[in-house]
Amino acid sequence: MKFDPSIPEDGINVSRTHPLREALLLVGGVAAIAIAVAVAAAVAVDLVAPHIPIELEVRLFSGWFDRGVEADEAVDPREQSLAKLLGRMAGHWPENPYAFEIAIWDIPEPNAVALPGGVIAVTDGLLENVESENELAFVLGHELGHFRNRDHLRGLGRGIAFSLLLVAVGVGGSSSAVELASLAGQFAQRGFDRDQEIEADRFGLALLAAEYGHVSGAEAFFEHLPELGGPLDGELASYYSTHPLNADRIQALRGMAHEMGWELRGERQPLLSLSPAR
Amino acid sequence: MVELGVRLGIPLALLVLAYFTGAAVERRHYASIRERELRWRSVPAITFRSVPPSWKVTECTLITGSVVISVDYFKRFLAGLRAIFGGRIKAYESLLDRARREALMRLKQKAVERGYHAIVNVRLETCRMANARNSESIAGLEVLAFGTAVKLRNAP
């Protein structure tokens, strides 16, 4: 028996695919699937959310977001004036099925949120930065618009659907795959959020016009917000923020007002009893 | 935006870095493996359980050669994505190929340095080393080559 000392050629045990090609293929695949699933989930949620009965929503979420005021706890006086203003705005939405509640959150960033069960949360930061009743009325009208379109449920549903997607990816892959899928999915769902904001703006503007006879204050609100949140610039920033860029939004508001024949100028009402409670 | 930059930027920078360092390390390792494969090619390392009848063995001993090799961040990233779709984990093929060949070369080198002429009954074992923090991911792997080195009166 003879020993063959030759060395075999390299190759059969190692694939010749370039690692970068492999990376591109895999990253593209994960991103494409995540986007497709995120969009499918968002569309499915959009179809289902409007059909969830309000009674069921209220029953499911009662006590989740309202602050459950203790009997001996002093009620923030701002809450009462906000509730009054909210009542006036909701009065222009006759088919409103909710019994709304106001919550004031001790958060410095100006923001307002529509929460399942009929709770509208407003931050301290927002209350300190509005300059007229009209601006606040527009914010509340905007949140009422979210309730009318059941956006608060959609946001929640999309979040849940998306978490399930991430769990599914996490079971099969590494944390980097989860991160990748989460980025791609978030990116895909931004568009849905933006459309909702525009629609809620439209509703808020209609309520504002019905209440005051003009829509002054809506623009003003956004005009002095950029200094607060820190400016975001460029295309990516616009797509990346949940809410459309303030400048874009002002533009859209003007368009809507023009379209509906609502007056952009008008006398604004001063704020009553909304100075910080402390 | 800052948060996005951190979430996206740091892993991306690590990936790019790992790709280039990983590729350079692999290229150099392969060059060294080929050079030694040429140098030791006349030393038979065979898988027979016994020596061929024509060999006159004067001495024998157990001999081992092993290597511990690490997975780089880029390869681990690719393998993680591959785990979703299934299929050949191409990123790990070259890693294991290098480890097996390196272990064999160390086996041969050790045998030659100790004056042995050949190695019979060569076996390869692979052992994965799990990360302590997260046992799902691999920190690296060991390939152990072992066999019986023999000294021959009539060396080939």
Q: Which residues pair with B138 in a beta bridge?
A: B130
Q: What's the complex ipTM?
A: 0.74
- Cα B121 to Cα B46, B48, B104, B109, B149: the distances in Å are 6, 5, 13, 16, 9
The answer to whether B41 touches B109, Cβ cutoff 8 Å, is: no
DSSP letter at A8?
P
Distance from CA of B41 to the nearest CA of A (A): 5
Q: Is residue A76 part of a domain?
A: yes
- The string of pLDDT tens digits covering residues A134-143 is 888 888 999 9
**Residue that wins the pLDDT comparison between A124 and B109:** B109
Question: Residue B45 in 3-state DSSP?
Answer: strand
CA dihedral B45, B49, B55, B58 (to 10 degrees): 90
Cβ-Cβ contacts under 8 Å between A and B: the total is 83
Whether residue A272 is contained in a domain is answered as no
Domain count, chain A: 1
Residue A77: inside a domain: yes
- CA B152 to chain A, closest CA, distance in angstroms equals 15
pLDDT in tens, chain B (156 residues): 566 667 677 878 888 999 999 999 999 999 999 999 999 999 999 999 888 888 899 999 999 999 999 888 888 888 888 888 888 888 889 999 999 999 999 999 999 999 999 999 999 999 988 766 655 566 788 999 999 999 998 765
CB contact (8 A) between residue A177 and residue B23: no
Q: Does A176 touch chain B (CB under 8 A)?
A: yes
**Which residue, B69, B79, B77, is CA-closest to B141?**
B69
Rounded distance between C-alpha atoms, residue B94 and residue A10, angstroms:
11
Nearest partner of B126 among B140, B145, B143, B146, judged by Cα: B143
Contacts of B88 in chain A (CB under 8 A): 15
Q: Tell me the pLDDT of chain A averaged across its residues.
A: 77
* Minimum-distance CB partner of A173 among B44, B80, B91: B80
Q: What is the pLDDT of residue A48?
A: 84
Instruction: Inspect the interface and report whether the beta carbons of B84 and A17 lie closer than 8 Å.
Output: no
pLDDT (0 to 100) of residue A70: 47
CA–CA separation, B156 and B151 (whole Å): 10
CA triple A246-B9-A158, angle to 5 deg? 55
What domains are there in chain B, each with its CATH number?
2-152 (3.30.110.70)
Residue A31 lies in a domain: yes
> pLDDT value at position A136?
87
| Helix extents (H) in chain A | 19-48, 54-61, 77-90, 124-129, 133-148, 151-172, 175-212, 218-223, 226-229, 234-240, 246-260
pLDDT above 90 (res A209): no
Burial of residue A24 (number of CB atoms within 10 Å: 0-12, 13-18, 19+): exposed
d(CA A264, CA A107): 31
Q: Which of residues 64-123 of B touch A (CB under 8 A)?
A: 74-85, 88, 90-91, 93-94, 96-97
Q: And the tokens for B58?
A: 């004067």
The predicted pLDDT at position B155 comes to 64
Cα gap A126→B73, rounded to integer Å: 44
Per CB-CB distance under 8 Å, the chain B contacts of A5 are: 41-42, 44
Domain limits for position A62: 26-260
- CA nearest A153: which of A104, A118, A116? A116
| A272 confidence band (pLDDT: 50, 70, 90) | low
